[in-house]
Structure 1
Amino acid sequence: MAFSSALTLTDLNDYIAPSQACIKPVEVKKSDNPQGSSEIKVDDQGGYYEISKDGGEEKLEQASITLNDCLACSGCVTSAESVLITMQSQEELYKVLRANNDGSQPHKTIVVSISPQSRASLAAKYQLSMIQVHQRLVAFFKHHLGVHHVFDIAFARDLSLVEGAREFIERYQAYLEQGGDALEKQWQEQQQQQDTSAPRSHRRQGGRAQQQQQQLPMLASSCPGWVCYAEKTHGEVLPFISTTKSPQQMMGSLVKDYLATKTNTRPDQIYHVAVMPCYDKKLEASRPDFFQEEFNTRDVDCVLSTGEVDKMLTEQSVDFLQLPDVPVDDIFNKVGLDPVTQALTAYGTEGSSSGGALEYILACAAKQLFHMDSVSTANGRIVIKTGKNADFKEYFLHADDGRVLLRFASAYGFRNIQNIVRKVKSGKCSYHFVEVMACPGGCANGGGQLPPQQLDQVTSVAVKDWVQHVEAIYRTCSGVPPDANDAIQAVYNEWMQLRSPDHVAKLLRTQYHAVTQNLGNPLATKW
């Protein structure tokens, strides 16, 4: 079974096989009879037996873990994934489709949302363009399986980027009001006194005031593996994590709120499936924060990995290359005409395949905070420095006089994440924003993506270059900023027009919860 590449056997030795660390071994029921106390015995095979006072033995049934338990335990993310794979899979989608056909349960509107990273992975395997993959997935899900809508999560990603930029600017302004202005001057003075090539330990001073304010650095929140890791092991950094919902969960809000209202459908009458590059997204969809108690439904009911969708094609005996290029749905899809060829294309966003949050937020902050309309490496306003490995980079926004105005960074993989966490906890992190991703290489290298493929001899791609190949395909989409897409703005304005501020906050933002562990009794974990 394939696990997320966020955590691997060779990466920090953090894999824990299913054991008492990630399941509840026994269900212990309280006895009303104080004289009836008993003992628990564990045999060589790991079976649990209750031994009564008279010496009798009764084998206890092992209690299985639930989705919420996965988020509550202090074990590893990867072990939890093995449980979730069986509870959120293509079989669950098949059940809903069969129920719709035979009328055994109330009819549901089935919505499938597809991530651009998954499209890129499928495009790499089948040697198609991103828009061709999207059109053929529409044909497969709608015409072959009977799904009602197929949407593009890139649409919700743009809403998440807009909201993330708004949150960063709010945090930065609050940071300045709470003494950050003096801290920035201090940092600038230090840079003038020291050569920029000095060791990092001599350049990362003055961050403690930032840390105490709990405003900056703002840490990206779209990677559930990183968020789950922070909640379980580093509760002190949670105030720094962006509260803006990830693209997946922003799409959940769109589908279960905006679409439900627009089509006069109850949220619990919609079954929402997200196709994602990462198994950890199953964990994210299961969070209690994304559950609507009023309608007893989740914003995202089921998450399928890219590999699971490809497996569905095989199960349904569908030749993906023979599927027609059908029209896409008219809402929640970031598609349009290529400005050069005038051919239908999928629109993208500038930046990495992890969503482009760093690049977009940096550009928005430069414009709104420092009135810079154009910032890039080409005009010298942005300087990028690569760290000791390719998965850590620093981004500096420079003023015309050379001063550094903003300090951003990207940290992929748990070695880099641990370094960032260590600096934040010690108050020595001077970055204003950090894009954090658990997978080395980012979302294009998600654990749910397709493995390297053996293509034809003409277009052969080496295994070591496969992720870069997928990344290159992802970048073929024309970069269109969210604020330049009229469809995004129109939906946003219509969606939020009649909502109260509290409702808006609930739709666009989320919260995080530190997990506390009782080391004396592993079965008494509180969260």
Structure 2
Amino acid sequence: MSEKFSPTLRIGDLSDFIAPSQACVVSLKGLKATPKKPEPQVFKKLTTFLKSLGVKAVLDTCCIRDLTLIETCHEFIARYKQGQATDDEKSKSSLPMLSSSCPGWICYAEKQLGSYILPYISSVKSPQQSMGAAIKHHICQTMGFRPEEIYHVTVMPCYDKKLEAAREDFVFQAESNDESHADQGVCIPEVDSVLTSGEVLDLIQLKEVDFDALEESPIDRMLANLDEQGHLYGVSGGSGGYAETVFRYAAKVLFGREIDSPLDFRIIRNSDFRELSLEVEGKTVLKFALCYGFQNLQNIVRKVKTRKCDYQFVEVMACPSGCLNGGGQIKPKPGQSPKELIKSLEAIYMENVLEADPFKNPLVKRLYDEWLGHPGSEKAKRHMHTGYHPVVKSVTAQLHNW
């Protein structure tokens, strides 16, 4: 067995959970070549394959993504009201609120931008880490397991998700069963290992599995966004739908405007920089943006630094075209351009997922009722939110760069 996959496959004695991002699970053909038409049974075949390796449960992140969207909506409303209530400079600096789910963006902000940009970043964890918190702090207890008995693997479109999972912020200590060593709890990561979708393809090929011939296993419904017909549902957008969800919620809560129609994003520089606005009585009251790719990202950062950014919320992704173009995704086949692949993935992604309001998700409601209490509660802040830390370079590193 290749050592490349050993961290994931040496887990037969644990209760194993795999939580794939839907950005990775888009079509039956997606794990062999570029998909040409939607094949929604890929999740069921992936479940069959992964369980053949000893995995006990294969979960979809969409339910937890809905929860992170709700937390993000409530955080935005709190920041907006704080900025409106006082002229204090510290309060005013709470906007624009910058999304926090992209680890490449977070790493760049901490290492290169420092303390002046970090207060603007949403404190809500990414869906990957929120899923880890839910599994290790709640789900395992309901199933009669201790957190250290669960090995949680995620499948993500991005290599930086591996770095995110290794952050010290996402490690906690379990209580020791040995009373004489009560203060020496075991350090437990919320996410134990991360595989990219490309690595899952490598694993399938390494095991010489005919993916088309695999039987379809029932989807584990523990945290699955499945309707009565077995269809997956969630928000639109291949990068989490943050701007759209927060915009609709803010329009409703702050200005009493229910927006049921598709949102009209206006292209500013290119398709990776789009904006969205709400007008009330001829006045622009909300202005949001989608900002993908480092070139566009740096433009936003400059505006924030000079206090010339007129957006209240920005959905930030380091990769051009967002998560579907993540560095860990399966590469285009010979003769196919990256743009053609992205266009195909976007079409398939949207065809295979029914759009649904996160606030009406019964699974999310149950998680709040049984575990977190309500959005923005102290327990939610403890498990669903995090902090950021500017990386101080050593003198040696500064001299080396100079």
> Are the structure 2 counterparts of residues 383 and 504 from structure 1 closer, same or farther at C-alpha, using a change threshold of 3 Å?
closer
> Are the structure 2 counterparts of residues 170 and 318 from structure 1 closer, same or farther at C-alpha, using a change threshold of 3 Å?
same
d(CA) in 2 for partners of 1:252, 1:344? 24
State how 1:202-281 maps to structure 2 within 5 Å: 213-235=92-114, 236-281=116-161
- 2:63–2:363 CA contact under 8 A, matched in 1: no
SS in 1 for 2:271: coil
The partner residue of 2:359 within 479, 483, 502 is 483
Of stretches 496-505 and 299-308 in structure 1, the one that deviates more from structure 2 is 496-505
Query: 1:371 — aligned with what?
Result: 256
> Are the structure 2 counterparts of residues 257 and 215 from structure 1 closer, same or farther at C-alpha, using a change threshold of 3 Å?
same
CA offsets 1:87-131 (integer angstroms, 9 cap, x no match): 9x522111223xx2xxxxxxx110000100100266443557463
2:269 is the counterpart of 1:388: yes
Percentage identity across paired residues of the two chains: 39
Query: 2:180 — aligned with what?
Result: none
SS in 1 for 2:123: coil
- 2:28–2:38 CA contact under 8 A, matched in 1: no
Normalising by structure 1, what TM-score?
0.69
2:387 is the counterpart of 1:511: yes
- 1:366–1:372 CA contact under 8 A, matched in 2: yes
State how 1:291-306 maps to structure 2 within 5 Å: 291-294=171-174, 295-306=186-197
State how 1:361-510 maps to structure 2 within 5 Å: 361-374=246-259, 376=261, 383-399=264-280, 401-453=281-333, 463-476=338-351, 477-497=353-373, 501-510=377-386
Query: 1:92 — aligned with what?
Result: 7
CA RMSD, Structure 1 to Structure 2 (Å): 2.5
Query: 2:245 — aligned with what?
Result: 360
SS in 2 for 1:422: helix
Structure 2 unpaired stretches of 5+ = 175-185
Of stretches 479-488 and 420-429 in structure 1, the one that deviates more from structure 2 is 479-488
d(CA) in 2 for partners of 1:480, 1:114? 19
d(CA) in 1 for partners of 2:330, 2:99? 25
- 1:496–1:504 CA contact under 8 A, matched in 2: yes
- 1:121–1:450 CA contact under 8 A, matched in 2: no
The partner residue of 2:234 within 328, 348, 359 is 348
The partner residue of 1:136 within 39, 45, 51 is 45
The partner residue of 1:110 within 16, 31, 35 is 16
2:54 is the counterpart of 1:146: yes
d(CA) in 1 for partners of 2:376, 2:339? 50
Of stretches 269-278 and 385-394 in structure 1, the one that deviates more from structure 2 is 385-394
Query: 1:319 — aligned with what?
Result: 210
SS in 1 for 2:265: strand
Query: 1:171 — aligned with what?
Result: 79
- 1:461–1:469 CA contact under 8 A, matched in 2: no
Which residue identity is paired with 1:348?
A: G
CA offsets 1:186-245 (integer angstroms, 9 cap, x no match): xxxxxxxxxxxxxxxxxxxxxxx6x87321000000000000000001111000000001
Query: 1:63 — aligned with what?
Result: none
d(CA) in 2 for partners of 1:461, 1:135? 28
d(CA) in 2 for partners of 1:116, 1:495? 24
Structure 1 unpaired stretches of 5+ = 1-85, 101-107, 181-208, 338-342, 455-459
Query: 2:183 — aligned with what?
Result: none
TM-fit CA distance, 1:436: 0.4
Query: 1:60 — aligned with what?
Result: none
Which residue identity is paired with 2:104?
A: G
SS in 2 for 1:327: coil
Normalising by structure 2, what TM-score?
0.89
Larger Rg: 1
CA offsets 1:354-396 (integer angstroms, 9 cap, x no match): 010100000011111111122545xxxx653211222101110
CA offsets 1:470-518 (integer angstroms, 9 cap, x no match): 0111111110111122222122221224999543311110000000113
CA offsets 1:137-174 (integer angstroms, 9 cap, x no match): 111111x1111110001111111101100100111011
- 1:336–1:344 CA contact under 8 A, matched in 2: yes
The partner residue of 1:310 within 191, 195, 201 is 201
Which residue identity is paired with 1:234?
A: L
Query: 1:24 — aligned with what?
Result: none
TM-fit CA distance, 1:419: 0.6
SS in 2 for 1:164: helix
CA offsets 1:283-320 (integer angstroms, 9 cap, x no match): 10000000012341100000000000111111112111
The partner residue of 1:521 within 373, 396, 400 is 396
TM-fit CA distance, 1:348: 2.6
> Are the structure 2 counterparts of residues 430 and 486 from structure 1 closer, same or farther at C-alpha, using a change threshold of 3 Å?
same
SS in 1 for 2:191: coil
Paired positions, count: 383
